[in-house]
Amino acid sequence: MEEKVLKILAETNEELLTYTGSNMLEDGLVNSLSFVTMIGDLEDAFEIDFDPALLEEEYFGNKDRIIQTIKELLA
């Protein structure tokens, strides 16, 4: 599962794989269009739909938070 996430993140921006900050949007690693594309790719890859309330830095700020959010949704 983590490998799938990392592949999608790398396709979005290789720097996301080593980013340890808390807000990839504010720090300029993704823009709004690439963020939306990344979310769509994650939804397709895991056959899930993210509630719009989850699309915040608390859940999508960096790769670790994204992986944790997906694990929780798949549980």
- If you write DSSP's letter for every residue of 9-66 in order, what string do you get? HHHH-GGGGT--SS-TTTTTSS-HHHHHHHHHHHHHHHT----GGG-SHHHHSSHHHH
Question: What is the domain partition of the chain in residue ranges?
Answer: 2-74
Contacts of 34 (CB under 8 A, 6+ apart): 12, 13
Residue 34 token pair: 């690439």
Task: Read off the pLDDT of residues 58-67 as tens digits, 9 standing for 90 and up.
Answer: 899 999 999 9
What's the whole-model pTM score?
0.92
Widest CA span in the chain: 31
Q: Give the mean pLDDT of 48-71.
A: 93
pLDDT attached to residue 65? 96
CATH architecture classification, 2-74: Orthogonal Bundle (1.10)
Task: Read off the pLDDT of residues 23-47 as tens digits, 9 standing for 90 and up.
Answer: 999 999 999 999 999 999 999 999 9
d(CA 49, CA 31): 21
